[in-house]
Amino acid sequence: MQFEGKNAIRQALQADITINKILVDQNYANRKDDLIMLAREKKIRIEFAPKQALDRKSTTSHHQGYIAFAVDFAYTPLEKLSSKDLPFYVLLDGIEDPHNLGAIIRSCECAGVDGIVIPKNRACQVNDTVIRTSTGAIANVKIAQVTNLKEAIDYFKKKNIWVFAAETGGECIYKKNLNVPLAVIIGSEGKGVRPSILEKCDGVISLPLKGQVNSLNASVACGIVVFEVLRQRINL
């Protein structure tokens, strides 16, 4: 797993993600550089190489002269997610596109979501594309990986957390009180939230749609939902 670009690497360092080494454009070897200084403070190995070497290693073509190589992403156990008085979680039911997952992580981080839960099977896992698309946000969001999403829902319910599915045919999100301990389920790109998962939920919330298309991209829908929750909580 690798991080590319100064901002993404800086956020990974600040989040204490385990980085094995940072490859740096050799043209930067003799200049004062805050990122290099931070890496040295954390005793992370730095290697200088020609820009062409970084170009070959890069998966984004936008490394800015810095590529960090980290250990595989460490998921957070479900029970280790935030336990504050008014938690907010996002559960993903079968998101398969890594770009969607990365965009969802970015929106959730910006909206202050306390944790994201993804299923282990038949869904995208955290990979380099997800990390790149999240533009560093993944360093600040706890993500739990579970074998059974239904069991995760049961876990949240036992914690007195309301579980709502974001799906068509439900109560308008702008009329629903979301200022409660909350977990929202976002469905897959093609099928939405599965019926078996809907049956486990406390309710369904929907976005009003006025156009001819009856659905939104999963990451777009998630962004709107999480920021509506944030809006309600800051307007107490």
Write the DSSP string, 1-16.
Answer: -EEESHHHHHHHHHTT
The CATH architecture to which 2-70 belongs is 2-Layer Sandwich (3.30)
Phi, psi of 114 (to 5 degrees): -80, -15
Mean pLDDT of 49-70: 90
The encoded tokens of residue 5 equal 């670009």
Which tens digit of pLDDT belongs to each residue from 166-182? 999 999 999 999 999 99
Domain extent listing, the chain: 2-70, 78-234
Give the integer Cα–Cα distance in Å for 44 and 194.
44
pLDDT in tens, 21-39: 999 999 888 777 888 888 8
Mean pLDDT of 89-102: 94
CATH superfamily of 78-234: SPOUT methyltransferase, trefoil knot domain (3.40.1280.10)
Q: Quick one: 63 exposed, middle or buried, by C-beta within 10 A (0-12, 13-18, 19+)? A: buried
CA atoms within a 13 Å half-sphere pointing along the CA-CB vector of 121: 3
3-class SS at 75?
coil
Tell me the average pLDDT across 181-202: 93
Q: Is the pLDDT of residue 236 over 70?
A: no
CA-to-CA separations, 232 to 14, 131, 154, 204, 219, in angstroms, rounded: 30, 29, 25, 18, 20
Are domains 2-70 and 78-234 of this chain identical in fold?
no
Say whether pLDDT at 18 is over 90.
no
Handedness of CA 14, 15, 19, 25 (dihedral sign): negative
**129-177 pLDDT per residue, tens:** 888 788 778 888 999 999 999 999 999 999 999 999 999 999 999 999 9
Question: What is the average pLDDT value for the chain, to the nearest integer?
Answer: 90
pTM of the model: 0.77
Say if residues 87 and 203 touch (Cβ distance below 8 Å).
no
